[in-house]
Structure 1
Amino acid sequence: MNGPQTQAIAQYSLEESSSLASRYFEILDVEGQFRRHKANFLLPHRKDYYFFCLVRQGSSRHWVDYVPYTLQANRFYFTGPQQIQVKEKTEPLSGIMLSFTEEYLQLQENQALRQLPILENPEQGHELRLEPDQVQFLEDVLRKMLQEFAARHDWRNRMLHSYLNVLLIYLSRLYTGSFSGGIAGPDLALLKRFRAAIDQHFHRLHHVADYAELLHLTPNHLTDRIKQQSGKTAIQHIHERLMLEAKRQLFHTDRSVSEIAWQLGFEDASYFHRFFKRLEGKTPSFFRTSTREMYP
């Protein structure tokens, strides 16, 4: 692989990706070679939808953000709309693929699903290792969804919602068990609102006081509550989100460090340089060079 490309990172919608011309939801049982957007091979891209896959057989190699992985049997893979992906090597795949959009989650009956850990993905994960009984459970639920999706019976959408609810709750249990930083518990409303605010405003708001004002709290109260609920300080959450986007841009684009700093709301590129080095232990330029060396 010859390194990231210079053009802007592409984004694909479910409607243009779907073999069924679906705008909101799709589920497919895949046997053999399956490719979407053949033109995006080796090119960084984002999907505007959630993508889940239970793999029975496969060995394709992909990158999610700047982390490589090779598909393995009896594992569950998942990505969200914000994650940057690169297809490096494609091989025949056997498995079940499920895709749905933010718009689908905004339907009244689906809104509560958005708060589940597997969708919020606080640890930016993309792979779950499964035990045989877990594979069987997921296969059973996904096959029921396949049958319902294809049959188009009365109350089809309600049935799909019910199955999806079970699937995502089960996956969220696996998620919180697999990632040591996974957060669970009933009193997480503030943490979720805080994270949603960061996702929306991190390009221009970098201080706890900014988010405290948005959430109608004092900075000290926000810091105490976030530390209690997540084990991390409020400023750590803000900095982690900035670093994630900085690394995405450094790894997947050829934008200059100064341009990336400006896009992330740093008026002074030298301050961004110091900020990145303090958190990562290396300069932005060295991070870009050293991580790209992982490309074959």
Structure 2
Amino acid sequence: MKLTYQDAVEESSFILTNFNCNPAQQLLQDKGYYKILWAKEKDCSLLVDGYKVHLEHNQVLFSTTLHVLEIPKESGMTAIVFNREFYCIRDHDHEVSCNGMLFFGSSQPPIITLNKKDVKSFEAMFLVFHEEFETRDRIQGEMLRVVLKRLLIKSTRLVKEMKGITEMPGSQMEIMRKFHVLIEEHFREKHQIADYADMLFKSPKTLSNIFYKAGYPSPLAIINERIILEAKRLLLYSEKTAEQISFELGYKEGAHFSKFFKSHCGIPPAAFRAEHKLQQKTVQT
């Protein structure tokens, strides 16, 4: 199944699919798509940035335009796929407040678990999506956007409940969201808490206290995690050398980056790449 809405003028795309056909599988190779993946029929497994992720029945995963996914054709998954031109998470953040929560909220894509009430809500929204693909008129795109916004708002609320931050003061929650968004924009050149604290008009200590009280990893740990994730992606999915990657991630000396990578991953960058390639060959044979 691959139901597609496209606007040639805006270059916008919105797709409803289960990845069980070659055209749908091609979406996984195309960059620039956000993906909302619902294990609607059964438990399923997929690869995210080369690592296996298991979704239980009625769990939902939110993937950014940066994540590299591999999904089996018979996964039993239902997915929404859309690009920035259809709905820009950053430009419309004032509408749904999902930036820094559902998308770009951490190095790993968030996963929520739907209870019976949530499942009914999701089923109702997906039913509307299906109905809209049966109606081709000039307001079809806007109708799909309306339901997508409702889905994003509902999902953002569920993520807040999952992370136990629904009772946090709104101002502190906004600081956490903005911190994650700023990391996504600047992690290649800014590696210190003070860099982000300055942009948020807070002291490094105040910023660290906010994350500590919320039960989150420290801001520095989150910054380092984002750098490591990007380093792994480049090592696994590009031909760039470790030295080239170190420069791209803001390290003036390759040795400094290699030491940083090894301290977090246990092995140097080159060894990490070689080990993963060996694992791929083993799986293929």
In structure 1, the partner of 2:79 is: 97
State the alpha-carbon separation in 1 of the partners of residues 248 and 88 from structure 2: 29
Q: Is the 8 A contact 2:112 2:159 kept in 1?
A: yes
Q: Is the 8 A contact 2:97 2:153 kept in 1?
A: no
Q: Is the 8 A contact 2:261 2:267 kept in 1?
A: yes
State the alpha-carbon separation in 2 of the partners of residues 205 and 69 from structure 1: 29
In structure 2, the partner of 1:115 is: 98
Deviation, 1:102, is 3.1
Structure scoring higher RCO (CA < 8 A, sep ≥ 6) equals 1
In structure 2, the partner of 1:7 is: none
Q: State which drifts further: 246-255 or 147-156.
A: 147-156
Task: Report Cα offsets for 1:110-167 as digits up to 9, x if no partner.
Answer: 6432426323442513655555654443222111122135425786566544433332
In structure 2, the partner of 1:85 is: 69
Q: Is the 8 A contact 1:59 1:91 kept in 2?
A: no
In structure 2, the partner of 1:223 is: 208
Q: How many residues are aligned here?
A: 272
Correspondence list, 1:231-270, <5 A: 231-270=216-255
Change (3 A) 1:206 1:144: same
State the alpha-carbon separation in 2 of the partners of residues 86 and 269 from structure 1: 31
Correspondence list, 1:269-288, <5 A: 269-288=254-273
Change (3 A) 1:26 1:291: same
Deviation, 1:192, is 1.6
Correspondence list, 1:26-105, <5 A: 26-28=14-16, 30=18, 33-36=21-24, 38=26, 45=29, 47-56=31-40, 62-69=46-53, 74-86=58-70, 90-92=72-74, 96-103=78-85, 104-105=87-88
In structure 2, the partner of 1:8 is: none
Q: Is the 8 A contact 1:54 1:76 kept in 2?
A: yes
Change (3 A) 1:150 1:215: same
**How high is the TM-score relative to the length of structure 2?**
0.75
Q: Is the 8 A contact 1:60 1:91 kept in 2?
A: no
In structure 2, the partner of 1:143 is: 127
**RMSD of equivalent CA atoms:** 3.7
Q: Which runs of 5+ in 2 are unaligned?
A: none
Q: Which runs of 5+ in 1 are unaligned?
A: 1-16
Percent of aligned pairs with the same residue? 23
Q: Is the 8 A contact 1:257 1:269 kept in 2?
A: yes
State the alpha-carbon separation in 2 of the partners of residues 272 and 130 from structure 1: 40
Q: Which secondary structure does the structure 1 equivalent of 2:80 belong to?
A: strand
Of the three residues 24, 27, 31, the one matched with 2:12 is 24
Deviation, 1:199, is 0.9
Deviation, 1:248, is 1.3
State the alpha-carbon separation in 2 of the partners of residues 135 and 169 from structure 1: 15
Q: Is the 8 A contact 1:273 1:283 kept in 2?
A: yes
Q: Which secondary structure does the structure 1 equivalent of 2:108 belong to?
A: coil
Residue type at the aligned position of 1:238: I
Change (3 A) 1:289 1:18: farther
Q: State which drifts further: 124-133 or 165-174.
A: 124-133
Task: Report Cα offsets for 1:21-71 as digits up to 9, x if no partner.
Answer: 343352435595353464x88xxx563121123345589974211312478
Task: Report Cα offsets for 1:231-251 as digits up to 9, x if no partner.
Answer: 332222211111111111122
State the alpha-carbon separation in 1 of the partners of residues 152 and 78 from structure 2: 15
